[in-house]
Structure 1
Amino acid sequence: MPRSGYAASATTRRRRPRPVVRTVTSVAVVSAVVVGGSYAAGLGPFARGATDPEPAALAQARAFLADWAAGRLPNAAGRTTRPATAQEVLRNFTAGLDIRRPTLTAAAAPTQAEDDTVDVPFTATMPIAGLGTWTYRSKLPLRQQPDGSWKVDWTLSIVHPRLSGTKKFHLEREDTGATPDVTDRKGASLSAAEFPSLGPVLHQLDAGTGGGARGAIQLVDRATGKVERTEATFAKKPDQPAHRPVRTTLDATWQAAAEKALAAGAHGRNASLVALRVDNGEILAMANSPSSGFNRAVSGTYAPGSTWKIVTSSALLLKGAVAPSDVVDCPQYLTVGKEFHNVETSEHRNATFLKDFTESCNTAFISLRGKLGDRELGDVAGTYFGVGQKWHVGIASYDGSVPAPRDETEQAASMIGQGRIQANPLIMASVTATAVSGTFHQPSITHGNRNTTTTTPLPRKVVDQLRTMLRTTVTDGTARVLSGLPGDIGAKTGTAEVSDDEPNNGWLAAHRGNVAVACVVEQGVTGGGSAGPVIRDLLRAVPTDPS
């Protein structure tokens, strides 16, 4: 039966991928050379000579390509003239066409365009999961801004010369009768028919097993869907081996429960969750709503909101900047460039830091921002939790970003998981597992994955403090929705602002026994009220740890 995906929608909504998009993949590391220069007295950007490029333009080009290559799409998009559009297009293009680990090779010589941009031609080699490789050429334009900085002058044709507001790409698959034999950790068969959320990842799991499909990438009219031309065709070679079975770390019981809990609790909203083992990072379940769309669980890019206070608390506790029993006042409002407030403008005067954590007090955490250096939160996230390092999960994943704040307001926002911090349920489930065990384990959905991460264990004292704080959040704090369940459950809720005119996203990260789980519900308003019931139903349905 034909299968298809779409890429690069003409319109965007912030962090809301279109349902037809499947998975996002990281892009291989590339380099680029861009020549620019200073504009003065009629001199163009090449007045300094083609062999002496403008350093700022060169640096921005390399940074953009490096971020795009590493899958840091929010960072890459932030280097363009249209960040929101760029992030959506870059994500949808690779996701909708099932592109895995592309290679982008810059031409040796940049050129000056008539519109005063500096163009860097490049060759794109795009491996399509389970099919073959699509190769084409495009170019990267840079334009100097009024303040003297350089940015990528965003246009759809950056991604592909024929991509436009009226034309998009469509991936058509034709199965040849052979489908990937994917099993769970115990050998039970897994299929998209029985577990719909696994549909977006089956071809990724199958990509290295020999493939059995034919397909084509077509250029289509956005309005009519009419095929304008075929860009590339793929067919299985006669000597290609048949599919080999793929054994995953998933647990059919947990997967079924996760899909059921999310389907019932999402109420039609975009949502996702991940459950994994604390002791080794093996993924037990991943679920998405809608189940047939973008794999938000491992490739989504969200502000994690107050679930990130697990990492912020770790940074503060590691350096002895605060103790759980210390009094850290929690007022209704705190102004740091802009006014920050707590959920429902609550306040807790003379609260301890433990109380601030369990009640998720934003103003208290922001008041401690001076205790951490500009890069300290990101350093702790990477050094102890592996966030921002390259993860080899077994499928395409987004592994987080914690950039240094650009000003005091952004530093305040980063203390509560806002600003430019980006994560997803896979990352926050891993963060929770690391916090309660003390050791980061690279998450995985298949066995034998390469591990290039380097982390340091958390001190036992900090682990004990975090476990107490998480447990108290369930018994006496904002995660009371889990308090009726058996077991020593700990959790952290989160509410993440999206924009002034959209409801907040709701988060909850939790652990019980040897399982950590995290869930996000877009426009869920609060974590306890939206993600909380989903995780409660999941843990209630599977009361024991996986074997």
Structure 2
Amino acid sequence: MTHTSVRERNTRTPLKAVTAAAVILAVVAGGAYAAKLGPFEHGSDAPDPAAATQARAFLGDWSAGRYDGAAARTTAPARAQDVLRSFTSGLDIERPRLTAGSAERGDDGTVRVPFTAKMPVKGLGTWTYTSRVPLREEESGTWKVDWALELVHPHLSDKAKFRLEREETSPPEVADRNGKSLVGKEYPSLQPLLARMAGGDGKPRGAIRLVDRVTGDTEGTEATFGQRADKGGKAGKEATRTTLDAAWQAAADQALDAEAGGRNASLVALRIDNGEILALANSPATGFNRAASGTYAPGSTWKIVTSSALLLKNAVTPDTVVDCPKYLTVGKEFHNVETSEFHGATFQKDFMESCNTAFISLRGKLGDAETGDVARKYFGVGQEWHVGIPSYDGSVPVPKDETEKAAAMIGQGRIQANPLIMASVTATAASGRFHQPTVLPGTGDTTSTTPLPRSVVDQLKTMMRATVTEGTAHVLADLPGDIGAKTGTAEVSEDEPNNGWLVARRGNVAVACVVEQGVTGGGSAGPILHRLLSAVPGDPS
């Protein structure tokens, strides 16, 4: 192994000076001593407070990247500056946190100040160890740090140094439901999730080794970072089988790439009969997994749940007349998209045109907690899901006042969901039974739900179909099959464009898509789901 010193490897820019909050300031130590509150006791055997003050100042300069200042406090300034810089920068340590303990006086009159070092190694984790700062009194009466390599780390010496090793990791083998590999550029959204699916921790791996300065041989390992897949995961073994479908996944990624227009967007497709996830895609593909972990107001797609609550109570039927005015004030003014209105509209018309004011006018038909109860009991929203990857499982809090209750009727207020949740809601509305979404076979299920009555399911299917043939989801009307859908427009703030939503079901598949700042669901999410459903016209095998 080629010998390369830490100093020779140091080609990085020194760390910028930052405030060393973890190091106790000298003035604080001095004040504590004067008040008899510090770690030093009065008496002939007590360490000189000036020694501890110097040690803390040394640690403060080191942690802040002021290597020249730290070195000037030692008995060997040139050597100290070189070692501190090469040790810290050469091991990719960012913003060391050095915390001093109580000073200790030796029999020979020297003073030692123990400290705990927390060394964040860039991109890997934190290396923690303890050491001591030795100090000796000069003839002038001042204290200096008695420089030695061992104070930087107890194992650093003239014979041994440290080496940072970063492990080059290849993507673990992950396959779709039919055994086809999902590793590759055809599935960009999955690449950040492969390690997690394969059972690893998904984090970079590396180690800090103690090596012989002459031979370069490893003498020991000081710290390891990241979980090795061959010890905790499945890389290098048989490919991990998932519920995903390669054709659906590739089509989902392609649809976002072609139609999202550079905006943040995500979608999920899953099987209606068992909740198995067929595709999970995000744009940008390398960013946050908003498809399963995002938190969004679902907007009018939530009217599927609100409608279920109303239908369960027989508060309305699809033929019930529920007027749809332009505006309705409940603490604040609510309006419809493009301030549309439909006088004498039926409830089905209100649903397919996504009339906010009509739904809000029905708020008195439901108790304050009733929509949340229906969401949890029948749709599993807010229960703990075990998907196989990290997920956010939804929240439907009880409204705080009448205005918030009005907002909740149309999927606003404090209701939170994401495409995974709304694809599951759509699947439940289509079949009448909630199935916990999963991406890994055999994932545990601790949810408990009740099936929707068949009459409610039939009415929901009729209204969702009408939304495609005659309503706001007409963007999907030219596709073959008995497609049902619901659009959504979710307000974010007064200063930002609305998010656009669209959920749909066809055959045995339910899909959901959100486009941040997409303005309308039909206009932004519509083309994405149209492209997806066109690319994979049949059900998965």
Indicate whether the TM-score tops 0.5: yes
Residue 314 of structure 1 corresponds to which residue in structure 2?
Answer: 308
Q: Hey, what's the Cα distance between the residues in 1 that align with 2:291 and 2:128?
A: 29
Q: Is the 8 A contact 2:500 2:517 kept in 1?
A: yes
Paired position in structure 1 for 2:171: 179
The 3 A distance-change label for structure 1 pair 324 and 263 is: same
Q: Give the corresponding residue for 2:180.
A: 188
Whether the 8 Å contact between 2:171 and 2:194 is mirrored in structure 1 is no
User: Corresponding residue for 1:24?
Assistant: none
- The answer to whether 1:327 aligns with 2:321 is yes
- Deviation of the 1:215 alpha carbon: 3.9
Alignment partner of 1:508 out of 502, 507, 515: 502
SS in 1 for 2:495: coil
Would the alpha carbon gap of residues 494 and 239 (structure 1) be closer, same or farther in structure 2, given more than 3 Å must change? closer
The residue aligned with 2:485 is 491
Deviation at 1:237, TM superposition (A): 6.8
Using the TM superposition, give the Cα deviation of residue 194 of structure 1 relative to its aligned residue in structure 2, in angstroms: 2.6
Q: What is the aligned partner in structure 2 of residue 261 from structure 1?
A: 255
| Counterpart-to-counterpart distance in 1, 2:206 and 2:187 | 24
Alignment CA distance shift 1:469-1:183 (3 Å): same
The residue that corresponds to 2:205 in the other structure is: 214
Could you tell me how far 1:191 is from its partner in structure 2?
A: 1.3
Structure 2 residue matching 1:503: 3-state secondary structure: coil
Query: In the alignment, residue 497 of structure 2 is paired with which amino acid?
Result: P
The one-letter code sitting in structure 2 at the alignment partner of 1:202 is: L
State the number of aligned residues.
369
- Segments of structure 2 that go 5 or more residues without pairing to the other structure are 1-123, 130-163, 209-221
Q: Quick one: distance in 2 between partners of 1:181 and 1:133?
A: 29
- Pairwise CA distance, 1:203: 2.1
Between the aligned partners of 1:301 and 1:425, the Cα distance in structure 2 is 9
Shift of 1:201: 1.1
Within a 5 Å distance, the mapping from 1:193-208 to structure 2 comes to 193-208=185-200
Q: Following TM superposition, by how much is the alpha carbon of 1:183 offset from its aligned partner in structure 2, in angstroms?
A: 0.2
**What residue identity is the alignment partner of 1:466?**
L
Change beyond 3 A, Cα 1:360–1:188: same
The match for 1:470 is: 464
Q: CA deviation at 1:537?
A: 0.6
Cα deviation for residue 438 of structure 1 reads 0.2
Structure 2 counterpart of 1:294, from 273, 288, 294: 288
Structure 1 CA distance, aligned partners of 2:430 and 2:230?
49
Aligned with residue 406 of structure 2, among 395, 402, 412: 412
**Structure-to-structure mapping, 1:233-248, within 5 angstroms:** 233-234=224-225, 240=231, 243=235, 244=237, 245-248=239-242
Instruction: Tell me which residue corresponds to 1:344.
Output: 338
Describe the SS at the equivalent of 1:240. helix
Q: Distance in 2 between matches of 1:480 and 1:248?
A: 34
The separation in 1 between residues aligned to 2:310 and 2:207, in whole angstroms, is 52
**How far, CA to CA, are the matches of 2:502 and 2:207 in structure 1?**
40
Give secondary structure in 1 for the equivalent of 2:189: helix
Contact 2:174 2:242 in 1 (8 A): yes
> How is 1:388-399 mapped onto 2 (pairs within 5 angstroms)?
388-399=382-393
CA distance in 1: counterparts of 2:328 and 2:483, whole angstroms = 32
The 1:462/1:134 distance shift into structure 2, 3 A limit, reads farther
1:342 deviates by: 0.1
> Are the aligned partners of 1:196 and 1:291 in contact in 2 as well (CA < 8 Å)?
yes
Q: Deviations over 1:341-398 (max 9, x none)?
A: 0000000000000000000000000000001101100000000000000000000000
SS of corresponding position for 2:190: helix
1:214, distance to aligned residue in structure 2 (A): 1.5
Question: Which consecutive unaligned segments of at least 5 residues does structure 1 have?
Answer: 1-130, 137-171, 218-230
Could you tell me how far apart the structure 2 residues matched to 1:286 and 1:294 are?
12
| 8 Å CA contact retained: 1:184, 1:190 | yes
Of structures 1 and 2, the one scoring higher in RCO (CA 8 A, sep 6+) is 1
Q: Matched residue of 1:474: which SS?
A: helix
Taking a change above 3 Å as real, the CA distance of residues 409 and 190 of structure 1, as seen in their structure-2 partners, is same
Q: In structure 1, what is the Cα distance between the partners aligned to 2:165 and 2:293?
A: 22
Q: Are the equivalent residues in 1 in contact too, given 2:382–2:395 (CA < 8 A)?
A: yes
Residue matched to 2:526 = 532
Cα shift readout 1:485-531 (whole Å, capped 9, x = no counterpart): 00000000000000000000000000000000000000000000000
- 1:212, CA displacement in angstroms? 9.7
Q: Match of 1:537, SS?
A: helix
Q: Measure, in 2, the Cα distance between the counterparts of 1:438 and 1:135.
A: 53
Letter in 1 for 2:511: V
Letter paired with 1:179? P
State the structure with more CA Rg.
Answer: 2
Asked if the contact 2:200–2:227 (Cα under 8 Å) also holds between the matched residues in 1, the reply is no
CA separation in 2, counterparts of 1:238 and 1:489?
42
Q: Map 1:44-55; keep pairs closer than 5 Å.
A: none
Q: Which amino acid in structure 2 is aligned with residue 279 of structure 1?
A: D
Shift of 1:325: 0.3
TM-score (norm 2): 0.65
Give the deviation of 1:204 after TM superposition.
1.3
Listed one character per residue, the Cα deviations across residues 137-156 of structure 1 (whole Å, up to 9, x for unaligned) are xxxxxxxxxxxxxxxxxxxx
Give 1:452's match in structure 2, choosing from 429, 434, 446: 446
Contact 1:182 1:190 in 2 (8 A): yes
Q: Which amino acid aligns with 2:446?
A: T
Q: Deviations over 1:195-242 (max 9, x none)?
A: 110022112113359x8962489xxxxxxxxxxxxx984156798376
Q: Distance in 2 between matches of 1:270 and 1:463?
A: 32
Q: Which residue of 1 aligns with 2:112?
A: none
TM-score, structure 1 as length reference = 0.64
Percentage of identical aligned residues: 74
Question: Is the alpha carbon distance of 1:194 and 1:323 closer, same or farther for their aligned partners in structure 2, counting shifts above 3 Å?
Answer: same
CA-atom RMSD in angstroms: 2.6
Aligned residue for 1:286, secondary structure, equals: strand
**Any idea what SS the aligned residue of 1:458 has?**
coil
